Amino acid sequence: MSISPSGPAAADGEAPMKVLVYSDDADTRAQVRMAVGRRPAADLPRVEYVEVATQPAVVARLDEGDIDVAVVDAEAQPAGGLGVCRQAKDEVYDCPPFVAIIARRDDGWLATWSRADAVVSQPLDPMALAEAVADQLRRRRAARLPVR
C-alpha cells in the first residue's frame, strides 16, 4: 500500500517534532512508540518521544509548550487520558492536538466529550495509529509555518 504524502516535504535537518505519550502502563507506551516509529510519514521530520505516566507530568510537559502531539491512553489510572485531554483543551494555551486510545467502541462518545482530535481503538492497529499521529503532526506543523 502506498501512502502519498500531503503537505510540504520534510526538510533535511528540520528539528524533530515531539510526541507526548501518556499511559500508566509502560507496555502501552512502548506499543505507541513502536507503532508510530521514528518517522510516521515521509513528509514529516523525525519524532522524539516524551513518555509520562502521571497526570501532573502531562500538565508540566504541556506547560513547557514544546509538545507537538499528545497520545493519551483512556484507560490510564488514576487519571484517564480522556479527562487529561479535556483538562488540557480547557487550560493549555496553544494546546497541541490529542490522539486518544480507547479500549471500547462505546467510549467514542467520551472521546468526543474530551475534544480529542483523533481516536484509535485497542488493540492498536499500528497503521491506524501512525496515520492518526502523522495527520495531527501535519496539522500542528502547518499551524506553525509562517504565512506567505
**Per-residue model confidence as pLDDT tens for the chain (148 residues):** 333 344 445 555 789 999 999 999 999 999 999 999 999 999 999 999 999 999 999 999 999 999 999 999 999 999 999 999 999 999 999 999 999 999 988 888 889 999 999 999 999 999 999 999 999 999 999 887 665 5
Q: How many domains does the chain have?
A: 1
CB 122 within 8 A of CB 35: no
CATH number at residue 82: 3.40.50.2300
One-letter amino acid of 129: L
Burial 65-90 (b: 16+ CB within 10 A, else e): eebbbbbbbbbbeebbbbbbbbbbee
In sequence order, the 6+-apart residues with CB closer than 8 A to the CB of 37 are: 47, 130
Beta carbons within 10 angstroms of residue 62's beta carbon: 24
Single pTM value for the model: 0.88
Residue 9 lies inside a defined structural domain of this protein: no
**Residue 7 included in any domain:** no
Range of the domain at 66: 17-141
Kindly state whether residue 42 falls inside one of the protein's structural domains: yes
**Domain presence at residue 100:** yes
